[in-house]
Structure 1
Amino acid sequence: MASPGAETKKPGNHNDFVQLCNPHVAAMKEDVLYHFSLSTGTHDFPTMFGDVKFVCVGGSPSRMKAFSKYVAVELGLDHPGADYPNICEGTDRYAIYKVGPVLLVSHGMGIPSIAIMLHELIKLLYHARCSGVTLIRIGTSGGIGLEPGSVVITRQVMDACFKQEFEQIVLGKRVVRNTHLDERLVQELVRCSTDLGDFPTVVGNTMCTLDFYEGQGRLDGALCSYSEKDKQEYLRAAYEAGIRNIEMESSVFAAICNACGLRAAVVCVTLLNRLEGDQISSPHEVLAEYQKRPQRLVAHFIKKCLAAA
C-alpha cells in the first residue's frame, strides 16, 4: 500500500539539534555504527564531531580525501603539522575526514550504499549533539542537453518515472517519501556559482536511477531490449520534465535528509551529454578538472557561510 510522504516531516529551523525519526535509538545502551567502525561505547562523539556544521558526501574515498585537503587550504587550516586522517580506517566500506567544522564522507555507488552510510552518518550527528548542519552531496553525473563540465544544482530529485519521490519496501509494505530539497540552499549555491563565474552552472531536476546501464537507457550494457529511438524519446521526455542530469544516489539522500529535517543539496558535474552518446570519452585530465568543479563551488559556499557567521 502506498504511503505518500510517509514518515516525512518538514525541515525545521536549521539551527536545531539533529534529530532522528526513530524512537528506539535513544533507549539503546550502546549504538554501534558498524560500517564506520565507530561506537558510542568506545568513542566520544560530542568531542569528536560536536562542532560539525557542514557535511559533504561523495562516492569515491580518494575523491573525498582530496577534497578534505582542498577544504583545509580554503579554510586556512592547512598549517604545518595538520593531520586529517581517515576517521573510520577500521573499515574499508567508507572513509570519513574532518576538517574543522566540515565532515567529508564517502558513500560508494548506488542507493543501497549511500542509504546505509546516511543512517549511520545521521546517527553520528545525533549522538554528537550537532546543530545547524547542512548536508551536500557532490559528485558526477550524465547530463541531458548540457555540455560536459556543466554543474547542476538540483532543484528536485525525480525517479526513473519522473516522480518526485523515493520508494522503499518496509516490512513488506510500500513506503513513499518525498525528495524535496531546500530551495533557499539552492539559491545560496547559485549565488556562490555567480561569485566564482568560471564554469557553467544550471539549476535543474536530477533523475536518480537504480542502475547505470538499462536504468539510464544506455545501449552499451550486457543487456538491452530497446532501440536508439526509444532511448532518445525517453531522454527527451526527461528533459521536458526539467531533468538536466542523471545519477544514482540523490533520491534516497534527499528523502532521508528531508525526513530528518536536515537541509540538504545536491551538486553534480556532468561528464557527457547523454543525448549525444553513452560512453565517457573525455581525456582523464579533463575529467579530473570537471570533478573538481562541485568541490570548488561547495568549498566557496562553506567559506562564505563561515565568514558571515
Structure 2
Amino acid sequence: MPYATPVKPTAGPLGEPIRGAATLADIARAAGVSASTVSKVLNAKGDVAAATRERVEAVLREYGYRRRGPRTAPLLDLVFHELQSAWSLEVIRGAEKVAQEEGLSLVLSQSEGRSTPGQSWLDGVLARRPTGVLLVLSKLEAAQCRQLTTRGIPFAVIDPDGELDVDVPTVGATNWQGGLTATRHLIQLGHRRIGVVAGPSRMLCSRARLDGYRAALETAGLRFDPKLVVAGEFHHDEGHRLGKELLRSEDRPTAVVAGNDLQALGVYEAARELGLRIPQDLSVVGFDDLPVARWVGPPLTTIRQPLAEMAAAALHMVIGLARGDERTRAATRIELATELVVRASTAPPSKA
C-alpha cells in the first residue's frame, strides 16, 4: 500500500491513548466514507463532492497523515495569475536558473486573471506531486493550503496580491520604499505637482507604493492632492488612458510616478499624443526595471524590483522546506530591496 504512517493517538479498550500507523480504512472510518473515497481524495480525483473532500481532508490533517512514495518527477509548479508580459518572463528567468541547478523541471500555468487558482489546477498539482509550488501575484484559499500541506507539498507566494495567513511563505519587494524613493527623486529635481498612475487598489504592492508616494510628499511639506492620483490595471493601455486623464487636466502635473514600467510606457504614449516632451515637459518614473526600460526613447528612470532574484529566493525557500531544513522554516517572510535607476526620463521642471 503506497500510503502511510500517521501517528494519531487512538483510544484503547479502556480509553487510554495508544499510538499506531493509520491505514486507509482508519481514515475512511473516521470520515464516515469508503476507503475508495479516501483514495480518490489522495489521488486528486474529481468525482468527490466538495463537502466530502473537505471532511476527508480534515481527518487526514487530524491524523497527521502524509502520503509516501516516490514523486512522479522532480517538478516545480510555477503559477501566474496572467502570463503575458515581460514581468512574467523575468520571474521565469529567475526560477529557471535555480531549477536547472537543482535538477528540476518547471511546469507553467496561469489562473486566467483570477487571483486564486481553481480546484482543477489544484487537482493536477496533487496528482503530479511536485517538489513544490510557487504562486506569482496569487493566493491560495485556506482549504487549498491545507490540501497541499496534507500531501507534504511546500509552497510559497511571490509578491502576494492580498493579505495572507502569517504561516504562508512569501517573497516580496520593498514596495513602500520604492514609492518613497521615486517621489523623492522628483521632489529633489524641483517638482512640486507630481501625479501618480497607480496599480489596482486591491493589490498590496499598489497600495504600498502609493503610501510611499504620500509619505514622500508629507516629509517634504507638500500637500497630497487626490486629483493627482488615478489607478488601474498594470497594463500599457491603462497607463495610456489614465495618463491622458492626468495630462489633460487644467493644472497638469509636471511629473508622473507610474505603478509599473508598462503603465509608464502608456504615459509616454499619452504625452506624445498631447504634444508633451519627456523629460522637458514631463518627467516619468516607472517601477520594475524591465529590459524595455533601457530601450525606449528616452530611456526610463525607474525603480528596480529584483524580480529574478525574488523568484530565485522563493524557489530556494520551497526546496529548503521540501528538504525539512529548519533554517528555512524559521525565515519564510522575505523582502528584497528596491532601488532607483536614473536614466533620461526625469529632469528639473520647465521654467516656462
Same fold (TM over 0.5): no
Q: Under a length normalisation based on structure 1, what TM-score does the superposition of the two structures give?
A: 0.33
Higher strand share: 1
Higher relative contact order (CA 8 A, sep 6+): 1
Larger Rg over CA atoms: 2
Q: Under a length normalisation based on structure 2, what TM-score does the superposition of the two structures give?
A: 0.30
